Structure formats: C-alpha cells, structure tokens
Amino acid sequence: MKSLLFTPMDLRSVRIRNRIVVAPMLTYAAQNGYVQDMHTVHYGKLAYGGAGLVMVESTKGDPCGASTPADLGIWKDEFLPGLTRIASTIKSYGAVAGIQLGHSGRKARRSIPWEGRAPLASHPGLDHGEEWELVAPSEIAHSNSFSTPRALSVSDIERLLDGYQAAVERVMKAGFDVLEIHAAHGYLIHQFLSPNANQRTDQYGGTPEKRMRFGLEVIERVRQHWPEEKPLFIRISAIDEAGWTVEESAAFAKELKKRGVDVVDCSSGGITGGSIVSSERPAQYGYQVPLAEQVRKLADIKTMAVGLIIHADQAEEILQTGKADLIAIGREMLNNPNWPMDAASKLGIENPFSMVPPLYQFFLGKRAEADFGGHSSTWQVGIDAE
Ligand SMILES: Cc1cc2nc3c(=O)[nH]c(=O)nc-3n(C[C@H](O)[C@H](O)[C@H](O)COP(=O)(O)O)c2cc1C
C-alpha cells in the first residue's frame, strides 16, 4: 500500500512534500510583538524534522487582538525582519512556511498560561497611540474571569478588515506561502459566528447567514490580496460548547470554498470555558478526526485533521480512509520535532531520512543498517511486541 502521509500534495502552485503539518501553536516568546531567537530555533527545528508545512502560531494584525503580551505581532512593518527570518529558515529546510492570522476579540489581554492567564490592563510593548482594548461583536464577557468587551461598530469592522488586508500584505513580504485565518477557539471570528457572543441586531447578527457575514468578509478581503497561486486555509471550531453544529460548519465551509478557501482545518470548542487544551476538557485519541471527516463530506472541501494524533499508523489510516487530506500535529511535535522522519521509518518508507538534512540523512541511514538484535531501530519501541 502506498503511503499517503508521504505523498506530496499540490495546493494551487505550492507543493508540500508530505501531508504532515505542524499545528499553529503560540510559543508565548515574543517581546513587544517582536520575533526572538527562540522562534527561529523552534520553527527551524520543526522544519528540519521533515514536516511538509510548518504553520507559525496565531500572529496578530491588530494589537487589540493579542491574547497575551507575548504574542507575535504583524500590525506594523517593524515586525517584518523577524518574520522574514522565520519564513526563510523554515523554507531553507524544505518545508512550506505558513502563518496563522488571529484576533482574540473578547478573549484578548491575558497573561501567559504559566502565569495564570489572568486579565491584564495594559500591554508593556505598545507604542504611543496603540491600544489594547477588548472588542467583540457584543458587550458580553467570555466568562466571569474576563472583562466586558466594547461592541464593535460597523466602521470599527471596516477598520478591522483593512487591518487584515495590511497584515496579508506583510505576510507576503515576509515570504510565507500558506496563510491560515484563525476562526476557531472562541476568538473574534468565532465570536461573530456564535449567538453566545453575538447578539447584534444589525447586518452582522441574528440569522446564521448574518453571523457568518464577518468571517466571510474577512476571507473575501484576504483572498483579494493573497496571491491567486497561494493556498488559503481557515481554522474553525467545527462544533462548540454553545450549540454550533457540524452542519453549520459545513454550510460555512461551502461559502468559504466559493470565496477561495482551499483547506478547512477542523478544531473545536473555545467559545466558553478555559483553554481548549486544558485538563477541564479531557480529550481522546484523534478526538476531532470525525469533524474533519464530516466537513469534508458535507462541504466537498479539503480538510485538515488535528487533535491527539500521535502515531504514524493513526495518521496514515486517517488519510487512507478519506477522513482528511492533511494531518496537523501539535504537542506531539513538541515532544518529538523529528516526528516526520520517525514516522517514515515506522511506516517502512524507502529512504526514510531523505526529508532531513544531509548530516542526519547520512548518519542515521548508516546506523539503520546495523544489527539491532531483534530490537526496533526507532525510539518508541525497544522490544517488539509479541
Ligand atoms: C502551546 C499551545 C499553543 C497553541 N496555540 C494555538 C494557536 O496559536 N492557534 C491555534 O489555532 N491553535 C493553537 N493551539 C491548538 C493546537 O494547534 C492544536 O489544535 C491542539 O494542541 C490539539 O492538537 P494536539 O493534540 O496535536 O496538540 C495551541 C496549542 C498549544 C498546546
């Protein structure tokens, strides 16, 4: 059986060397929005390990959208040298460089996870005139531990769309080839989609079509300014805790497809409660794969599966059974940044080290020829199971 995990994928004119994607993950390492050495090392290491596409964390085109003071910014040109360094490092190791654009809306302005995600009043890194104001579709706080946001006016929404446009232009200048819009996890676009956060009575609230309007306008604006030959992804919460259904997601996905979205990255939750990866939300092995499968079937669009995908054979099975087109891996990549190379060995791919730089390719290839005395040559299993 031919591996699909290791079959390249062409999206518009971008070739991804395999179907393995590093899921977007905030590193909480930016200083005043700026890229630090840690980012280049971290993203370079993930590209070096053989991933097809490395998706850089949720990066903010508007300072008000920053979740924490340690989020990456793209709201001004001064951020470009650092972002360009990340993109070129990823590409130099053969992976496609992608970036996610996010806006946290009413969930913005908190301290970083290991400092308790506490509400904050100010951002130490903002220049004079830049504000860190909580904004959302309606004046409804995310929960008791969050402050109440200001409801966006229609002219604020117009300015936000201009902000997305400016961010897309910078993403292009920085050299990224895949762009993902973050519309999941209870952040701004999801807030517009959900009646839990959106109780507007104008053209942006009320019926499902009106609640989808902001998200679709973002995609329209982004697609107008993101080159035709480059793929556009969106991450959605395909279901959430406040009653959003997979059928609604599929209806949204059909509209997104008409507007030039290539891949729907199917996550879930986040419109109420704490972090989507907290222990209050215990998850199971592959828990979101059925969402990717349903959106793919109902909306006839490519999907990316994510969430506790740990093993090579698990990832391969998801693709072989037509549940998704791409596999995103988050925390397991933090555990093992060489996951793709390791997965290739485990799946018996010929020349499994071909995707990593020559140093690794040469010496690990030679080592694989050694006599392992019946033990596995890969790190997870020392003694073959009976
Ligand atoms: C530290 C951390 C940061 C994250 N940051 C983002 C983010 O910036 N954007 C996003 O859409 N999801 C983010 N997520 C969610 C992951 O992309 C992923 O969907 C989630 O971790 C489940 O996949 P996993 O089980 O493979 O880790 C983050 C998760 C973690 C653990």
How far is residue 373 from each of residues 239, 280, 352, 378, measured CA to CA in Å?
48, 44, 21, 13
Query: Would you say 315 and 5 are in contact if contact means Cβ atoms under 8 Å apart?
Result: yes
For the stretch 234-262, pLDDT in tens is 999 999 999 999 999 999 999 999 999 99
Over residues 199-219, the pLDDT tens digits come to 999 999 999 999 999 999 999
In this predicted structure, what is the pLDDT of residue 346? 93
CA distance 59 to 74: 7
- Ligand 1 atom 23, closest CA: 307
Q: Pick the closest to residue 108 from 136, 74, 80, 144 (CA basis).
A: 136
E strand spans, the chain: 9-11, 14-16, 20-22, 53-60, 96-102, 135-136, 150-151, 178-183, 232-237, 263-267, 302-306, 326-329
Alpha carbon separation from 303 to 235, 289, 334 (Å, rounded)? 10, 10, 23
CA distances from 336 to 3, 141, 309, 372 (A): 21, 37, 13, 22
> Domain boundaries in the chain?
9-367
pLDDT exceeds cutoff 50 at 273:
yes
pLDDT at 28: 98
Q: What per-residue confidence (pLDDT) applies to 128? A: 65
Task: Give residue 64 CA to ligand 1 midpoint distance, Å.
Answer: 21
In this predicted structure, the answer to whether residue 342 has a pLDDT above a threshold of 60 is yes
From 26, 38, 58, 264, the mutation candidate for ligand 1 (largest count of ligand atoms within 8 A of CB) is 26
On the CB side of 133, how many CA atoms lie within 13 Å of its CA? 10
| pLDDT at res. 261 | 98
Q: Using an 8 Å Cβ cutoff, are 33 and 66 in contact?
A: yes
Residue 200, ligand 1, Cβ within 6 A: no
Average pLDDT value for residue range 1-8: 96
Question: Regarding the domain delimited by 9-367, which CATH topology (the fold level of the hierarchy) does it fall under?
Answer: TIM Barrel (3.20.20)
pTM here is: 0.96
The pLDDT-based confidence of 281 (bands split at 50, 70, 90) is: low
pLDDT tens-digit readout, 58-106: 999 999 999 999 999 999 999 999 999 999 999 999 999 999 999 999 9
Residue in this structure with the two tokens 């099975």, named with its chain if needed: 317
Q: Kindly state the average pLDDT of the residues 153-176.
A: 98
- Segment 128-156 shows an average pLDDT of 92
